[in-house]
Structure 1
Amino acid sequence: MKLLPALSGAVLAMSLLASPASAAADLPKTHGFYEEVTYLMDKGVVSGYPDGSVQPDKIVTRAEAAIMIGKLKGFDGTQRVSGFTDVTKGMKASGYIAAAKEAGFISGYGDGTFDPYAPITRGDMAIILSRVFVAPFFGASEYTDVSTNMRAHDAIYQVSGASIATGYANGTFKPLAATTRGQFSAFLARGLEPKFQNDTHMAGSYLKDKTKTYSFGDGKTITGVHVYTDDTEKLGEPIGFMWSVNHKPGSEGYYMELESRSEFYKAYPYSEAYLDLVYPVKAGTKFNVDSPFTAPSVITGVNVTVETPYKTFTNAVEVHVPKTSEFHISGYKYYMVPGYGQVKTIKDDGTDIDVLMDVQ
């Protein structure tokens, strides 16, 4: 079990419109962030330049980041005193910088400056986005270049947990690297739209598709419908995007799936996270062995065939949780499938506990 921070955030709303991104000659459909930039241009968050370009690969300055955040939040960008000694009233971004500062999204340096023309780093980007979006979970990834004494440490793991940003294949996050307009657009789009969050899933991920609805039950009757949605003010706190489960009328549950290159967790808002699978997947691997909060588990099969009312899977991982006096009065098995997560849970006597019934 991992304890998770309880952090509040802001609710997003925007209604601005802009010229379609298709007019930009330097944003071909083959660009890695074409859809994200187009999406934000249609929202009025990203705008082009006088020559008709978008310049998706241009480095974003701290002032430009404030403008994009301000447009996303619908702030009044009227030029005014910003509160920073190096951001004059006459600067184009002064109004947005002032508004973002007042909202608590951005901060300057100890000497009262903001350094508006400096490139915004991935670390600073993470800090800002962790304040703009609701990000109550720490991601499961462990970045080799993000130390605990780093100012952006918590924010980086928060935006990772929210599927807003992710690291690189070599296990780094590159917190000091500059951010491009395309990258910043991708981060913002993921904070707003689940389909873009799917892009952060690694190859062969066991995470569910965040754009689909999953129905579970006892094999005959649907008892829970899982929908990935932004239930802003549930549980007395903003919880942001999360899997919402309607177990029965008047009763709801919430959880988030978190995954790294070594582990798969299921986490609960302002509570704990429990380990469901370890990578690489290999029969005989034991985990949760020393946990005082959950029973020990063992991978008992790979590429297992498992039948559900939805479909028959031939690539499931079987995990057995034995009967223990401390946690369970009976043992059970559950089955994990790439792209679907947990698809079936049964008692050792064969009784279905929770089974995937349908996906829409």
Structure 2
Amino acid sequence: MKKFPMISAAALALTLLVSPAQAATDLPASHGFYDEMTYLVNKGVISGYEDGTIKPDKIVTRAEAAIMIGKLKNFKGTQTSTNFKDVSKSQKASGYIAEAAKAGYISGYPDGTFKPYAPITRGDMSIILDLTFNIFNGVGASFSDVSPNMKSYNAIATMVSGNITAGYSDNTFRPNQAITRGQLAAFMSRVLEPKFKNDTHMANSYLRDKTKIYSYSTKQGTATLKFEEVPVIEGNDFGFMWVTRTDWNSATTLLVENETKDALIYGLPYSEAETEIVYPIQVGKTFENGLGERYTSTITGVNKTVNTPYKKFTNAVEITIESGEKYYMVEGYGSVKSLDAKGETVSELSSVK
């Protein structure tokens, strides 16, 4: 009788706990996209190669991108004929390409080809993600190499407002640059999971941590802010954004915010936006604000000490509105306290969970 080798329970448990991404020989934990690659491997979107590698720095082809999108959307992927003259039924990605094209997520070229083996660019990937997922298209950033006459212009703005990417430090987006498996994993992970959106925040950002729930004490009661996915409403994409709820009524308010190298802007979706703080931060710097009637705000202090029920901050930026009202901004927390013209507290941060 054939005997099978014995495997200890500990060894078996260890085997089950190690994901394909963790076992990949070319994906150390120190890799810039290790977490994103692991996340998508565990979701079954990315798989490794027979040689034990996962190739995070390999350029992604248009066919490979279609497969990854298809797996996220739970397409069957059964090989089939397509409407593209260079994608036959015998090709591995044919089913995913056909289904994605039918759904309107991808398209080919005027000559009837899809160019499945051509590298996919950052601009093209922005278009595909914009068409595939519910992402709010709000205030985008301006890049020196992205102009309004480009096909990917609106999609790139959506990627920025949706915290999918922030571009490069030299104020470029590089829309024609080919994208790697690791970079694509980052794009897709940020579409799906708020914790990865934090990676797009600038250094010393005043944006809140999107994995936390913020509560504020006000004269009326307690208001909470939670970053969550909002479904499509009346044909408009909303995606992930801050949702405000209060304990004094059942109404909810949606809040979007976007940070560029020049300012942090916030407002209601599909409406006008307010400037909350401008960069670089300098005492005496002024900026205009207001929806309709305009008013001037001035940065009147830095490294201010502010006491709130949550904690004492010693690095707050004080901003004074021309009417005498003040509010205080802190890196990683946004506004932590606001005062009326008499100096009385209007709202203040009470908890972060």
Structure 1, residues 196-252: CA drift from partner, whole Å, max 9, x if none?
Answer: 110111100000000001001227x75211110112245774411010111244210
Structure 1, residues 1-36: CA drift from partner, whole Å, max 9, x if none?
Answer: xxxxxxxxxxxxxxxxx9531121111111100010
1:335 matched to which residue of 2? 328
Mark the structure with the bigger radius of gyration. 2
Partner Cα distance (2:59, 2:87) in 1: 20
Change (3 A) 1:60 1:236: closer
Query: Are 1:358 and 2:346 an aligned pair?
Result: no
Asked which structure has the greater RCO (Cα within 8 Å, sep 6+), the reply is 1
Give the residue type in structure 2 aligned to 1:243.
W
Contact (CA 8 Å) 1:86, 1:115: kept in 2 or not? yes
Specify the SS of the correspondent of 2:303: strand
Q: How many residues align?
A: 335
Contact (CA 8 Å) 1:140, 1:259: kept in 2 or not? no
The within-5 A match list for 1:70-219 is 70-218=70-218
Tell which deviates more after alignment, 119-128 or 299-308. 299-308
Contact (CA 8 Å) 2:130, 2:159: kept in 1 or not? yes
Contact (CA 8 Å) 1:222, 1:357: kept in 2 or not? no
Partner Cα distance (2:123, 2:71) in 1: 21
CA deviation after TM superposition for structure 1 residue 131, in Å:
1.4
Contact (CA 8 Å) 2:84, 2:112: kept in 1 or not? yes
Query: Are 1:281 and 2:251 an aligned pair?
Result: no
CA deviation after TM superposition for structure 1 residue 163, in Å:
0.7
1:6 matched to which residue of 2? none
Partner Cα distance (1:212, 1:294) in 2: 33
Partner Cα distance (2:118, 2:125) in 1: 13
Give the residue type in structure 2 aligned to 1:261.
K
Structure 1, residues 287-346: CA drift from partner, whole Å, max 9, x if none?
Answer: 1169745422111111111111111111111111123xxxxxxx4111111100011111
CA deviation after TM superposition for structure 1 residue 267, in Å:
2.7
2:32 matched to which residue of 1? 32
CA deviation after TM superposition for structure 1 residue 96, in Å:
0.4
Partner Cα distance (1:246, 1:43) in 2: 32
Partner Cα distance (1:56, 1:228) in 2: 29
TM-score, L = length of structure 1? 0.89
2:242 matched to which residue of 1? 243
Partner Cα distance (1:281, 1:354) in 2: 23
Unaligned segments of structure 1, at least 5 residues: 1-17, 324-330
Contact (CA 8 Å) 1:23, 1:52: kept in 2 or not? yes
1:64 matched to which residue of 2? 64
Give the residue type in structure 2 aligned to 1:130.
D
Partner Cα distance (1:179, 1:253) in 2: 36
Specify the SS of the correspondent of 1:288: strand
Partner Cα distance (1:242, 1:348) in 2: 30
Query: Are 1:345 and 2:338 an aligned pair?
Result: yes
CA deviation after TM superposition for structure 1 residue 135, in Å:
2.1
Specify the SS of the correspondent of 1:186: helix
1:11 matched to which residue of 2? none
Partner Cα distance (2:139, 2:133) in 1: 15
Give the residue type in structure 1 aligned to 2:64.
E
The within-5 A match list for 1:230-269 is 230-233=229-232, 237-248=236-247, 249-269=249-269
Give the residue type in structure 2 aligned to 1:342.
S
Partner Cα distance (2:273, 2:22) in 1: 43
Contact (CA 8 Å) 1:140, 1:263: kept in 2 or not? no
Contact (CA 8 Å) 2:66, 2:93: kept in 1 or not? yes
Structure 1, residues 89-123: CA drift from partner, whole Å, max 9, x if none?
Answer: 11100100111111111111112111111000000
Partner Cα distance (1:125, 1:140) in 2: 16
Partner Cα distance (1:252, 1:291) in 2: 20
TM-score, L = length of structure 2? 0.91
Partner Cα distance (1:311, 1:234) in 2: 37
Partner Cα distance (2:237, 2:129) in 1: 15
Give the residue type in structure 2 aligned to 1:252.
T
Give the residue type in structure 1 aligned to 2:135.
A
Contact (CA 8 Å) 1:21, 1:37: kept in 2 or not? yes
Contact (CA 8 Å) 1:247, 1:253: kept in 2 or not? no
Query: Are 1:297 and 2:297 an aligned pair?
Result: yes
Give the residue type in structure 2 aligned to 1:338.
E
Give the residue type in structure 2 aligned to 1:193.
E
Partner Cα distance (1:64, 1:177) in 2: 16
